[in-house]
Amino acid sequence: MNKLLLTAYGFSTPSIKDAAQKMIRENKVTKACIISTSWPKEKEKHPQMQQIKKDLLSMNIQQVDFLDVEFEDANKLFDYDLIFLNGGYPFYLLHFIKKSGAEQILKKINQNGGLIFGLSAGSIILGPSIALMQYLYPEDNQFNDSNLDGLNLTDIHVYPHFKEMLTRDPTIKDRINKYENETGINITRLNNDQALAVNNDTQTFLD
C-alpha cells in the first residue's frame, strides 16, 4: 500500500484540502502526528506547524500531536494513523529521520497502509533522493551527509515553491533544467498552490 500526499505548502487550496479529507475519511484516521524536526529552532511553535495542526483538527481528527525525532522516541510514530512531515530544511529533517530510526518506521507504516503527508522538505524526502538539493543548495548540508537517499516511498522527485522561488532567484529554472539534463531525472515542480496525491500506482495532480 502506498498512500501519500506531497504538498508544497500544506492544505493551501480547497482541492488539496478536499483530497486530504477524503484520504483521512477513507482510512478512518483518528490520531495524527506532525514530525517537527525540520529545522533547529522553534519547531512546533512555528506558525506553519500550528496551522497544520489546526487544519488537521478541522478534518475531524480527534488527536494531533507533535513529535521531534531528534530528541524523542521515533517508535511513538506507530501509535498514529497519519504522519505529517513538515517543511523546513531537507538535510536537517532527513539526517534525524535516519539517525533516530524513523526511516524504517515510516517505511513500515507506509507498507501497512498508513497515511503519510509531506509539506515542502517533507515531500522532498519522501522521494528517492535529495541530490537535487545538494546540487542547488550544498551550503544547507550542515552535517556533510554523503548519503542523499530519501525514504523512497515514491519515485517522484519534488521541487516545491517553484513559481515562488522564481521571483527570488530567476536562475532556478535553468539550474533545474540543467540538473535534469545531466542526470536524466525528471523533477516535479510544485507551486505553493499545488500537490500530488499518490495512491499505489495512481498519481493525482491537485491545485
pLDDT in tens, 157-199: 999 999 999 999 999 999 999 999 999 999 999 999 999 999 9
The C-alpha cell that represents 67 in the structure block: 513529535
The gap from C-alpha 93 to its chain's centroid, in whole angstroms, comes to 10
The C-alpha cell that represents 172 in the structure block: 532556478
Please, which pLDDT band fits residue 44 given cuts at 50, 70 and 90? low
Pairing of strands 115-119, 3-7: parallel
Residue type, 176: I
Global pTM reads 0.95
Please, which pLDDT band fits residue 48 given cuts at 50, 70 and 90? confident
* Listed range (13-17, 43-47, 58-62, 117-121) with the worst mean pLDDT: 43-47
Going through the chain in order, the beta strands assigned E by DSSP cover 3-7, 31-35, 63-67, 82-85, 115-119, 157-160, 187-190, 195-199, 202-206
Quote the pLDDT of residue 43. 63
Please, which pLDDT band fits residue 47 given cuts at 50, 70 and 90? confident
Quote the pLDDT of residue 131. 98
Quote the pLDDT of residue 200. 83
- pLDDT of 102 over the 70 cut: yes
Q: What is the mean pLDDT of residues 87-96?
A: 95
Superfamily grouping for domain 3-206? Class I glutamine amidotransferase (GATase) domain (3.40.50.880)
Q: What is the mean pLDDT of residues 72-93?
A: 96
- For the stretch 109-119, pLDDT in tens is 999 999 999 99
- pLDDT of 42 over the 70 cut: no
Quote the pLDDT of residue 1. 64
Quote the pLDDT of residue 49. 85
Stronger pLDDT, 46 or 130, i.e. the higher one: 130
Which helix (H) or strand (E) is 15 found in, with range?
A: helix 14-26
